[in-house]
Amino acid sequence: MRITVCCTDTKADPWLAGLRAAFPSATVENWAPGAAAADYAVVWAPPQQFLDEQPQLKALFNIGAGVDALMKMRLPAGAAVVRLDDAGMSVQMAEYVSHAVIRHFREFDGYEADVQQGKWSFRKPRMRADFPVGVMGLGVLGQRVARTLLQFDFPVRGWSRSAKTVEGVRCFAGEEGFEAFLAATRILVCLLPLTPDTEGIMNRQTLSRLMPGGYVINVARGGHLVEDDLLALVDSGHLAGAMLDVFRTEPLPAGHAFWQHPKISVTPHTSARTLREESIAQIAGKIAALESGQPIATLAGVVDLNKRY
């Protein structure tokens, strides 16, 4: 068995070491142009040349939950694409979103601003019933986030392309359920995969349908949000603000309006980072399952190439 690692923007050596430890009898190597044909590839933002030179691959394992960059490339015809289905990311995402929701609901941002001015202030407690949270995307990460928010007694709504059931969550599905979902939401959390159907899904039209005083939390992809529409709705007062972890251009350019806007908080794409050891163990387990004869379609995280997630 031969496994090749092709990663840009991240160090390959730890992935090579982990996979060699998991498969001591296999050939595990870092890809270089002209490399020998491999059975499996572990990738992050690979160049098109790599994909073109490895047409025989059985599976591409993406070291992240989002595969939108891979979906834009020309893939080997017979290769399955497998994403990380958790690997320690869901708890991080639940932490981040819970922090963002609670910070807004409890007005901690307002207290912070007052403290910076030397003010000892009081704000009347708000009712959780008035702040229903809507989670767009009910995959592994979205369901973990929704269940966590329930623990804080927020009303939680969920929306997905196909019908899902999450105990305690009022679920909506498809185009026919989207407007009702938005109308029932005050704090909107985006955890959707980025596809042609979801590009720009948070725009002036959709965000205007949120309850007055709506708040936006984007931890999915920058391409989901029409940035100028968000700014206009915040400045008009229809939206109370936003907390954003992902952007159309990353790093966020100097001088971008988000940096200094008093009602918009930004973080540098850090809501859920890949945990290397957990990810290697998950990928190794899936490769071992395939080598033992398990059908690839039964693995968790296999991407539907038609749906692009």
Rounded Cα–Cα distance for residues 34 and 158 (Å) = 47
Select which of 2, 238, 269, 276 is catalytic. Answer: 269
65, 70, 72 from 194: Cα distances, Å: 11, 11, 11
37, two tokens: 């044909």
Select which of 144, 221, 224, 308 is catalytic. Answer: 221
Which amino acid would we find at residue 219? V
Separation of CA 70 from chain center? 15
Q: Cβ distance 300 to 85 under 8 Å?
A: yes
Helical pair 89-105 and 108-116, crossing angle rounded to 10 deg:
60
Count of CB atoms within 10 A of residue 112's CB?
A: 10
In which residue are the tokens 């988000």 written? Answer: 258
Strand ranges in the chain using DSSP code E only, listed in sequence order: 2-7, 27-30, 40-44, 59-62, 80-83, 133-136, 156-160, 170-173, 187-190, 214-218, 239-244, 264-266
CB-based contacts of 256: which residues, under 8 Å, 6+ apart? 247
Rounded Cα–Cα distance for residues 272 and 148 (Å) = 15
Which residue, 199, 70, 43, 66, is CA-closest to 139? 66
Task: Note if 256 is an active site residue.
Answer: no
Rounded Cα–Cα distance for residues 62 and 247 (Å) = 21
Rounded Cα–Cα distance for residues 141 and 195 (Å) = 17
Task: Note if 221 is an active site residue.
Answer: yes
Separation of CA 205 from chain center? 23
Catalytic residues: 221, 269
